[in-house]
Structure 1
Amino acid sequence: MRLMVTDGTTTLSYWLNWRFLLCAILVLTPMAVAFYLIWKYERPTKDSCSDREALHDERSWILWNDEAWRPCLKEIPPSFLMVYRVIAFCLLLVALSFDVAVHGGELFYYYTQWTFTLVTIYFGLGSVLSLYGFCKDNRMNNKVNDRIVEDTEKGLYMPLACEGTSNGKVGGNLDYKGKSNTPCSAALWCNLFQILFQMTAGAVMLTDSVYWVVIFPFLSIKDYEMSLLTVLAHSLNLILLLGDTALNSLHFPWFRISYFILWTGIYVIFEWTIHACLPLWWPYPFLDLSARYAPIWYLLAAVLHVPCYSIFALVVKLKEYALSRWYSQSYWCQR
């Protein structure tokens, strides 16, 4: 899958020209806007841990901690989502390992492989959080059961907060509003997990759509071979992520397209840095700054971020709308 090497990427004349200046503006300006949006919406507050209720009233997109491992419907046990994430993580890790073993470390010059690795990390962290939530719920249920046995032996009866729930189990350490009192350190990991979800969603849509719609049909690459690993790298991540989206309770606020933009911007800067130091081939021909219309290609790539993120946001909205209409009594995410 290697393209032809572009001559002169290590010379000053390759970089000191109007094309690179325009491309740099097209990359750095969205990154600056993204940093501003993150600062505006994500900056910590003094009571971010002590007053979680007030924080959620102010920032509705922030997860209640159990939403990181709780399925969107009450009928689906958290263990089901946990098993799904563990299986997805194993499949992605095996596919990634085989791909690196076959093609070597040069594979990470591709944005596709960066994204595939990010999706693998997402499911790895999701598996850990799901296991944490599963163990936490089990501990709480055991405490409740022990309390019932103790009160029964003493001839006492005390109403429990979990009575009247659909499954008769406690969904976590609940306060009077039914929200999870998870430690702040765990809450930080849960919010990081939600950010990863939105980064991977946009990046996967971008890589897979560009590959199947642009690169594969229209670009002829020397010694290009369509292998099973190539197909998996551009399809398995999206399939597994859509499955997790159908099951999870994660939200999809629009401003977090900023992380997706930063992810792509960091990749482009990485490619520029590598090519400024070493005479390497460009993994994607539209990144080549020697092309006359390079700024147009960079502009198109930047604009593509909006529809790619929008499509996945629409998928999440359609899921929320359908479940709230069809399963209004058991849909968790109505608030």
Structure 2
Amino acid sequence: MGFLKGSTWEPVMTKNTSSSSYWINWRVLVCAIWLIIPLVFSFFLISKYEGPHKGKNRVHFENNTVPVPEEEDEDEEEDAGILYEDEVWRPCLKGIHPVWLLAFRVLAFVVILSVLVLNVAVDGGDIFYYYTQWSFALITIYFGLGSVLSMYGCYQFLKRVGGNTMSNQVTDAEIGTSTMLSNGAKEAPENRRQIIAGFWAYLFQIIFQMNAGAVILTDCVFWLIIVPFLEIKDCNLNFFIINMHTINAIFLLGDTALNSLRFPWFRISYFVIWTVIYVIFQWIAHVCIPLWWPYPFLDLSSTFAPLWYFLVALMHIPCYGVFILIMKLKYVLLSKWFPDSYMCMKS
């Protein structure tokens, strides 16, 4: 394994994975069921909750003008899957300029991309055989896309400030107070005039929640299972693998503390789909080529394979739940410490 240093331990191939007898048995059938059930349920949740489904929640803009909103029931809850355009680039506190979130995301992108490129240069493209590198590549994409969206957001923010002689009033508009337009008309509050996010913003939000679960899963499995196992085998870990399971969590938690993104529970579906895609990739690879399994619990030759697959599938719930608790803690603390500045919706 490329991430081991000074080690004599290597994963071994227990059986010929390309033979028909390896795949035609009850264990594979049960494991396939453990993949299909959460996959179907995930697509059901996405179809039910993703995006704005109620027409009254959607506000349309034409030529960047702010229309007079129709009266709405203020007690009506927003759709769980709704996302507004500025939530992907706006910090959660009014006192923080969007450029600081941009700077953090650019820094994170440069550091994470550098580690990934160096890892590929040292160990080769075979590192993408592991779920860890899949997740690390995903968080690289997250900060890369986040940097671009933050650049766009800073441009929009500066354009709004520059076009207003009383630029300090922009922050009041952000939290829903009325301001005066240039023609003397009263501008609608922010909660009535926000733009529904587009494709790239929604993709960014989805990747954020996929990363939340994947980072917790990979880091917990690594530090709680793999590291103790390798210590027993007297193996040493190299610089890259330790950094990958450290900076991914540090940068993701840092971005979480700063951003205004929501965290609806139903998007655990994307996290589940991400893992299922990885497992399907491994199955296809092993059908075509006799290979050792990157993780022993994926080996279908074991009698306990169905149990392992079930337990790993079950692990997605607490891993995702941990991040939900982190988001709730953020809401409780920041809304208490900065009641007049905190702008995020409660997830």
Equivalent AA in structure 2 for residue 104 of structure 1: G
Contact 1:26 1:299 in 2 (8 A): yes
In structure 2, C-alpha distance between the alignment counterparts of 1:266 and 1:124, rounded to whole Å: 22
Equivalent position of 2:239 in the other structure: 228
For residues 32 and 341 of structure 2, what CA distance do their matches in structure 1 show? 49
Local SS of the residue matching 1:62: coil
Q: Offset of 1:164 from its aligned partner?
A: 5.6
Which of 96, 107, 121 in structure 2 is aligned with 1:101? 121
- Note the C-alpha offset of 1:140: 1.9
Aligned to 2:82: 62
Q: Tell me which of 176, 196, 210 is aligned to 2:207.
A: 196
TM-aligned CA deviation for residue 322 of structure 1: 0.8
Structure 2 match to 1:87: 107
Alignment partner of 1:234: what SS? helix
DSSP-derived class of the 1:144 partner: coil
- Counterpart residue number, 2:29: 21
> RMSD of the TM alignment (CA)?
3.0
Instruction: Tell me the CA shift for residue 12 of structure 1.
Output: 0.6
Paired letter, 2:228: P
- Residues paired across the two proteins, number: 318
Any unmatched runs of 5+ in structure 1? 149-158
Amino acid at match of 2:288: C
Aligned residue number for residue 150 of structure 2: 130
> Partner letter of residue 254 of structure 2?
G
Which residue in the other structure is 1:316 paired with? 327
Q: Does residue 189 of structure 2 align to residue 177 of structure 1?
A: yes
Matched residue SS, 1:127: helix
Between the aligned partners of 2:58 and 2:171, the Cα distance in structure 1 is 29
Gaps of 5+ in 2: 2-9, 62-68
Name the aligned partner's letter for residue 190 of structure 2. G
1:232/1:20 CA distance change after superposition, 3 Å:
same
The higher relative CO (CA closer than 8 Å, separation ≥ 6) is in 1
Q: For 2:329 and 2:231, how far apart are their aligned partners in 1? A: 37
Aligned to 1:251: 262
CA apart distance, 1:108: 0.6
Structure 1-normalised TM-score? 0.86
- Number of the residue aligned with 2:48: 40
Instruction: Please state whether the residue corresponding to 2:308 is helix, strand or coil.
Output: helix
TM-score (norm 2): 0.83
Structure 1 position 8 matched with structure 2 position 16: yes
Question: Is 1:64–1:179's contact at 8 Å kept on the other side of the alignment?
Answer: no
Aligned pair partner of 2:338 in 314, 327, 330: 327
Indicate if the aligned counterparts of 2:262 and 2:345 stay in contact, CA closer than 8 A: no
Aligned letter for 1:177?
Answer: P
Is the 2:80–2:264 contact (alpha carbons within 8 Å) kept by the matching residues of 1?
no
Q: Deviations over 1:226-248 (max 9, x none)?
A: 11101011111011000101111
Cα pair 1:64 1:180 within 8 Å, conserved: no
Question: Partners in 2 of 1:120 and 1:38 — Cα distance?
Answer: 24
Residues 190, 329 of structure 1: CA spacing in aligned structure 2 closer, same or farther, 3 A cutoff? same
1:258 maps to a residue whose letter is S
TM superposition outliers: structure 1 runs of 4+ over 4 Å: 43-54, 163-166, 179-184, 219-224
Cα distance, 1:161–1:328 mapped onto 2, change above 3 Å = closer
Match of 2:164 in 1: 144
Contact kept? 2:212, 2:323, Cα under 8 Å: yes
> 1:143 Cα shift?
1.9
CA distance in 2, matches of 1:317, 1:258: 20
Deviation at 1:49, TM superposition (A): 6.0
Q: Report the alpha carbon displacement of residue 137 of structure 1 after superposing the two structures with TM.
A: 1.2
Per-residue CA deviations over 1:11-42 (Å, capped at 9, x if unaligned) read 11000001111111111111110011111112
Q: Is the 1:61–1:251 contact (alpha carbons within 8 Å) kept by the matching residues of 2?
A: no
Show the counterpart of 2:277.
266
| CA–CA separation in structure 2 for the residues paired with 1:22 and 1:275 | 18
